[in-house]
Amino acid sequence: MPIPLLAWLAGAGLVAAAGGAWAWLVRRGGEVPEACRDRVRVWVAGPTGAGKTSLVAAVLGRSVPEGTPATPALSWHWEAALPLALADTVGLELATGAEQVRAVARLLRRMPDGARPHAAWICLRADAHRVSGGEGGRESGLAEALRAAGVPCVGVLTQAEPETEQAMADALRRAVPDLAAVVPVCVRPRTTADGTVLVPRHGLDRLRRATIGAVAPEAAARLERDWPPYGW
């Protein structure tokens, strides 16, 4: 059973480091490691299996994990050389999504400025059968709660393929009108058994530009200066 968002609003945190890579597992509402307070903070949210953990790894230049690992608690990730701190969040579930969104709204209301996210990426698989919009919808409700708290949201269509991404991007824009942008991304190339690339990795530079365009000017200037393009 997925751990609901409320489960990590109480408890303790744990820091792990390897070289310049850091991760902080958080179970106290609103807590971030001190290093994140000097970085541009981005929440990475969406349903379980949407590719949030893989996206975080790709953006930070780490190996993209195989499969669809479930994140048991909000965890902050950053690299020493980059100005970003990314929070990989618990999956936004169909059964508990409405309560998760309410918990996020409560958390944002009491969160100090030094811990608040500068932006959020709301992830959805490009091949998903539906996006949860309208009153009480998971993705639309989360975007509305974040927008009400002054946090801009970028929609990210993960595992995007050219023939399907446009229709899903249009559906996401209709269902979640509060998004600053919608960006199709594929962080792991799709290949045949003999290694022929069917869908190359793509989208990180578009996500970088969309994020820079969504955040406040001071954060945007820092990202423009210190977050180098990926070339794809």
Domain ranges of the chain: 39-69+92-226
Lowest mean pLDDT among 11-20, 27-36, 121-130, 210-219: 11-20
How many alpha carbons fall within 13 Å on the CB side of residue 110?
A: 10
- Report the mean per-residue pLDDT for the chain: 81
Q: In this predicted structure, what is the pLDDT of residue 85? A: 95
* DSSP-derived pairing of the beta strands 190-191 and 14-18: unpaired
Beta bridge partners of 179: 153
Q: Locate 190 and state its tokens.
A: 């799709």
More confident: 5 or 99 = 99
CATH class of 39-69+92-226: alpha beta
| Residues in contact with 8: Cβ distance below 8 Å, sequence separation at least 6, in sequence order | 26, 27, 29, 73, 74, 90
Distance CA 204, CA 168 (A): 18
Which of 95, 94, 116, 114 has its CA nearest to residue 105?
116
Q: Convert the pLDDT of each residue in 150-203 to its tens digit.
A: 999 999 999 888 877 888 899 889 888 889 999 999 998 888 889 898 889 999
Mean pLDDT of 47-68: 86
91 pLDDT more than 60: yes
pLDDT-based confidence at 6, cuts 50/70/90? Answer: very low
Q: What is the reported pLDDT for 212? A: 98
Helix (H) or strand (E) holding 198: strand 197-199
Position with higher pLDDT, 28 vs 205: 205
Q: Is the model's pLDDT at 19 over the cut of 90? A: no
Asked if 175 contacts 137 with a C-beta cutoff of 8 angstroms, the reply is yes
- Give CA separation, 72 vs 2, 35, 187, 197, in Å: 8, 22, 22, 33
pLDDT, tens only, 122-137:
998 888 766 655 444 6
Give CA separation, 45 vs 93, 153, 207, in Å.
11, 10, 15
Per-residue confidence band for 15, with pLDDT thresholds at 50, 70 and 90: very low
* Predicted pLDDT of residue 205: 98
